[in-house]
Amino acid sequence: MKRVLVALPTLNENQKEKLRSACPGCEISFINEKEITPSNIDGVEIIIGSVPPAMLHSPESLEFLQVGSSGADAYVREGVLKPGTVLTTCTGAYSQTVAEQAITATMMMLKKMHLYRDAQNRHEWTDLGTVGSLDGAVVLVMGLGEIGKYYSRLAKALGAYVIGVKRRASDKPDCVDEMYLTDEFDEVCPRADVIVSFLPGSAATTHFYTAERFRAMKSSCVFVNYGRGVAVAADVLEEALRNGEIAAAAVDVFETEPLPADSPLWDLENLVITPHSSGFYHLPATLERVVDICAKNLSAYLNGGELMNVVDFKTGYKK
């Protein structure tokens, strides 16, 4: 009999029953992810949820970890999981919530809504002049996973010409007009009116957006980062915004989180900061999708079926 620990946010009874039904005959326990302790993990063969990686160094019994997140960069580091552990993610569950917030942030920057809010806070009736539009804009989407494709569909629906950039060659999806590989980014980035990053965290993506790359962008470009914070160093982003190398940015993720209170980024007028809030469970449908994926993979693992979103430990990406 396998021991299964579910460490997700507080679940309702229907959600719990869905997971129980996926592992008949198993001993299953539920604990809120914020309350997990090392003692909860002892002797457990299967964990459902994104438990702190530091707690996973010792449990030799662990066979299968289904994280509740779409990224697994913290779990593929050497020494976190013992060799042979199966690792899967909830890729796809967060597409709607992250893409919708990212498209909202894009429109907010193009229409200067952040500046109008600032003026409101100062009780100023101020016309801020010229604004941009997604209709006819060239939008470069960096990272064409499920979130990137969802965002691309939204952008195209609003009239954008979408360029997708991805790591591996594949057929071009209908949601983009052109598609390139990552090593071709420098060729296409000067064309973009908006650059939206959904890059995952990995050695290959760390500090991808260099000072040189920001200088190659249009001075009118809007940069939106809803992938991982390691993709751009805080000082590089600050310099690009202060020097007018890009017009504005909306950022949900940072290399150091929480962003330190004394960071100069907080005071930039042309930057909107959100506290890594887009990918959580604020949209109720997200947790439902997470539970669905976890239940399907739990059943597949126990019955020798095909698993979704299996992580390649060498790359940190889905296989």
With beta carbons less than 8 A apart as the criterion, state whether 88 and 70 touch: no
Active site residue 276: yes
Of 228, 238, 282, 306, the catalytic one is 228
Of 17, 27, 257, 269, the catalytic one is 257
Active site residue 257: yes
Cβ within 8 Å of residue 111, ≥6 positions away: 131, 132
Tell me the C-alpha distance between 115 and 73, whole Å: 35
Active site residue 228: yes
- Show the 3-state SS of the chain: CCEEEECCCCCCHHHHHHHHHCCCCCEEEECCHHHCCHHHHCCCCEEECCCCHHHHCCCCCCCEEECCCCCCCCCCCCCCCCCCCEEECCCCCCHHHHHHHHHHHHHHHHCCHHHHHHHHHCCCCCCCCCCCCCCCCEEEEECCCHHHHHHHHHHHHCCCEEEEEECCCCCCCCCCCEEEEHHHHHHHHHHCCEEEECCCCCCCCCCCCCHHHHHHCCCCCEEEECCCHHHCCHHHHHHHHHCCCCCEEEECCCCCCCCCCCCHHHHCCCEEECCCCCCCCCCHHHHHHHHHHHHHHHHHHHHCCCCCCEECCCCCCEC
Of 276, 282, 288, 289, the catalytic one is 276
Tell me the C-alpha distance between 140 and 138, whole Å: 7
Q: Could you give the residue numbers annotated as active site? A: 228, 257, 276
